[in-house]
Amino acid sequence: MNHLTHPHSPPNPALQPLQHALSQQLHDARLVLTHLPNSPIQLWLLDAAPLRRAFTDAEVQRIQNEPLYWCFCWASGQVMAQWLLEHPDRVRGKTLLDFGAGSGVVAIAAALAGAARVIACDIDPLARQACVANAAANGVTLEICDNFDTAPKADWIVAADVLYDRANLCWLDRFAQAADEVMVADSRVRDFQHPHYQRLGQAPATTWPDLEESAEFRHVSLYYGHAIRIAATDSH
């Protein structure tokens, strides 16, 4: 069966490149519009069914070579989105940049919370397309950007599940230099130490569809960062 004409497949032509990329990796995988648990947000995510079967070596290789992060809603993204929806006063009327937006879940939450301008930034072109499709599914508009260095100036920078590579820890300084306020959510780095960030707490969440990650990755830490330039001025 052609996945694009499956009765439950996405009817929106804008989703076809996303569905195509997914089918290239797993022939039986499809995108389904998925309501996140305890959230008003819905996203085009991977249908969980193919995850229940064994993968061939070739499929494993393809997935590892080109991970399609955007077809999952990562545990950290869910916790950050929930925080934004519960604290709309913190971002209302502000400009917010979601670094490593993936599906766009955090950016969408910020828009729903009343941010004046939301920029979804991702180096992956398919993730940027997913952000557009998912924004439309939630009735919000996002600005899309492929490069943090050329992104518009933001009051807030938020980043969920981007520290999976330790090399990305250097971004913490960059975020705090670029915005007044920063929020980082991560389940991989449990308690990083940084002079401009403080850990606010931890919340349970499960990446969706469920990758059956070990229990240690089902607890998301939230970190709040202050602007580095303000601290430098205060010290004089």
Ligand X SMILES: C[S@@+](CC[C@H](N)C(=O)[O-])C[C@H]1O[C@@H](n2cnc3c(N)ncnc32)[C@H](O)[C@@H]1O
List 18, 34, 71, 102, residue binding ligand X (CB under 6 A): 102
Q: What is the DSSP letter of 18?
A: H
Least separation in angstroms between residue 234's CB and ligand X is 30
**What part of residues 41-80 is at the interface with ligand X (CB under 6 A)?**
69-70, 73-74, 76-77
Tell me the three state secondary structure of residue 89.
helix
Q: Is 227 in the site for ligand X (CB under 6 A)?
A: no
Q: Is 209 in the site for ligand X (CB under 6 A)?
A: no
* Closest to ligand X by CB, 47 or 161: 161
Q: Is 105 in the site for ligand X (CB under 6 A)?
A: yes
Interface with ligand X (CB under 6 A), residue total: 22
Q: Is 148 in the site for ligand X (CB under 6 A)?
A: yes
* Closest to ligand X by CB, 102 or 225: 102
CA distances from 175 to 12, 72, 78, 145, 198 (A): 35, 24, 20, 16, 14
* Closest to ligand X by CB, 160 or 203: 160
Q: What is the torsion angle, in degrees rounded to the nearest 10, for the CA atoms of residue 69, residue 71, residue 75 and residue 77?
A: 80
**What part of residues 157-176 is at the interface with ligand X (CB under 6 A)?**
160-162
Cα–Cα distance, 236 to 234 (Å, whole number): 6
List 103, 138, 187, 221, residue binding ligand X (CB under 6 A): 103
Q: Is 121 in the site for ligand X (CB under 6 A)?
A: yes
**Euclidean distance between the first and final Cα of the chain, in Å?**
68
Q: Show the CA angle centred on residue 112, arms to residues 106 and 118, nearest 5°.
A: 60
* Closest to ligand X by CB, 99 or 197: 99
Least separation in angstroms between residue 128's CB and ligand X is 9
Least separation in angstroms between residue 210's CB and ligand X is 14
| Backbone CA torsion sign across 144, 148, 154, 157 | positive
Cα–Cα distance, 233 to 68 (Å, whole number): 42
Kindly report the number of other CB atoms within 10 A of residue 118's CB atom.
30
* Closest to ligand X by CB, 26 or 126: 126
Phi-psi region of 120 (alpha: psi -120 to 50; beta: other; left: phi over 0): beta
Six-digit token string for 83? 């925080």
Q: Which residues would be at the binding site for ligand X (CB under 6 A)?
A: 69-70, 73-74, 76-77, 99-103, 105-106, 121-124, 127, 148, 160-162
